[in-house]
Structure 1
């Protein structure tokens, strides 16, 4: 499947998070420990918000592997952002093409996904018909992940992100079961509007792909007072990742099954998550 990370906090160079950790996302593209596949080389993408303007995020995506992309290395050493997404892809059957690489963008929103809609080839038409016609022309690729994003946009992502994702999940499960798919949905999803990040862990079988969040920075400083990085970032800095970026004791916490978390200044929280009928 895939690996991803979401960063929110003190503006940092992308390379600080993408390359420097011992088990960075670049290392995971070759040596994933917790994913379905060890290698995630079917494309990658990064998306970020400029510090001065969050109206529209920038997105850079490519179909090659992340581990040897010189343009990614160049960007990562020169772009600084307070909020960015990064994703490495292992295709579940759709084409390896730029428009199928995450993160996906619409307006101020970004979305990325690890997992799959089971039987998506058979479900795709019925799911596409649920997308608001005014949005459908903006669907560029052929993945289940992008279809999930546009369903969430259709069901009110602008007004109620958790509710919109719950309604998206409800539709995917309902359509899947109409087609005889017992367990249609497997997902860890991150979505952001440039200010807050929402991260979801859910699957129809209740056996979701891994997802972790970082311990509060003030707590980590007490545990590891000699780490320079922890002295340079604010207490609001957070990471959400498919798998830990290293083995630092006390740094990582598993996101509970069937929950979603909110990361925003002054208000981090975890809530239960379940699909909702439409």
Structure 2
């Protein structure tokens, strides 16, 4: 599987988020604690919002822990909204176009999990992608296909419903092919102003996902940490696994939910797939 994180809040250098925490995403690329695989070395990617309409994107096929270009970039790029991912392939090729996050216009998308027996379901799912969107698909992963199905079903207008329709379709196609428990996912997507994060699996035993405690509460819990005074109240993180062991800093995202982060407001809604009509 994979590990990922989202940061939203005060502009920070990427290295402050990717490298400096005790159990940073770079550390998780070698020493994941809660993932299916300890090592996530089948490529990585970073997407960030800053100057311009389209988010920046840097992806590579090597392991994140040894990529000098990533380290150099992280020391010089600052962003108020960052999505980062380290990959452990579930069977598709290790190539740049299969590295997360995936981008379409202002939208970024990344995924941890899999579609069971993807090779069996792939053709039917591909045919459901909008013909105008299809040429923009570059890779061969189930994760990118999930993204383009969500775009087909209205991600740009109503992300929760679009993802619900996407999952509903995957489960319906899997049922026709007698594939049990097809969906396993934690997904993050953003348009540059709002972040949506989903934790769902058909068997209701989803991969780990956590969100950070609000900064004001953390300042009260840990007045001894100066860095907490430098981050704005609206700063938030969503992570596959905690970036350290600071007491009170992390909370588990509930099973079968959609979390929304926008301007420091945190909302968590129940998530249910929507089967095709």
TM above 0.5, one fold?
A: yes
2:233 alignment counterpart: 235
Deviation, structure 1 residue 46: 0.2
Task: Pick from 216, 221, 224 the counterpart of residue 223 of structure 1.
Answer: 221
Contact 2:233 2:264 in 1 (8 A): no
Which ranges of structure 1 fall in alignment gaps of 5 or more residues? none
Structure 1 counterpart SS, 2:245: coil
Whole-angstrom distance in 1 between the partners of 2:38 and 2:264:
36
Deviation at 1:200, TM superposition (A): 0.2
- Aligned partners of 1:233 and 1:186: how far apart in 2? 33
Identify the residue that residue 193 of structure 2 maps to in structure 1.
195
Cα distance, 1:61 vs structure 2: 0.2
Query: Is 1:247 equivalent to 2:269 in the alignment?
Result: no
SS across alignment from 1:163 = helix
Deviations along 1:124-170, one digit per CA (max 9) or x if unpaired, are: 11000000000001000000000000000000001100000000000
Question: SS state of the match for residue 133, structure 2?
Answer: helix
> What is the distance in 2 between the residues matched to 1:251 and 1:268?
15
- Which residue of 67, 70, 92 maps to 2:68? 70
- The answer as to whether partners of 2:236 and 2:264 remain within 8 angstroms in 1 is no
What root-mean-square deviation, in Å, do the aligned CA atoms of Structure 1 and Structure 2 show?
Answer: 0.7
- Residue 229 of structure 1 deviates from its aligned partner by 1.7
Shift in Å at residue 37 of structure 1?
0.2
1:37 aligns with 2:37: yes
For residue 226 of structure 1, report the CA deviation from its aligned partner. 1.8
- Say which is worse superposed, 222-231 or 123-132, in terms of deviation: 222-231
Give the superposition deviation at 1:266: 4.5
Q: 8 Å contact 2:235–2:264 — kept in the other structure?
A: no
Matched, 1:56 2:37: no
Q: Is the counterpart of residue 8 in structure 1 residue 37 in structure 2?
A: no
Residue segments in structure 2 that go unaligned for 5+ positions in a row: none
Shift of residue 267 of structure 1?
Answer: 2.6
Distance 1:205 1:266 in 2: 32
Do 2:113 and 2:185's aligned partners in 1 also have CA atoms closer than 8 Å? yes
8 A contact 2:184–2:206 mirrored in 1: yes
Question: Structure 1 length normalisation: TM-score?
Answer: 0.98
Residue in structure 1 matched with residue 26 of structure 2 by the alignment: 26
Deviations 1:8-27 (A, max 9, x none): 00000000010000000000
Residues 80-121 of structure 1: CA deviation (Å, up to 9, x unaligned): 000010000000000000000000000000000000000101
The residue aligned with 2:176 is 178
The aligned counterpart of 2:17 is 17
**Structure 1 SS opposite 2:265:** coil
Report whether the alignment pairs 1:104 with 2:130: no
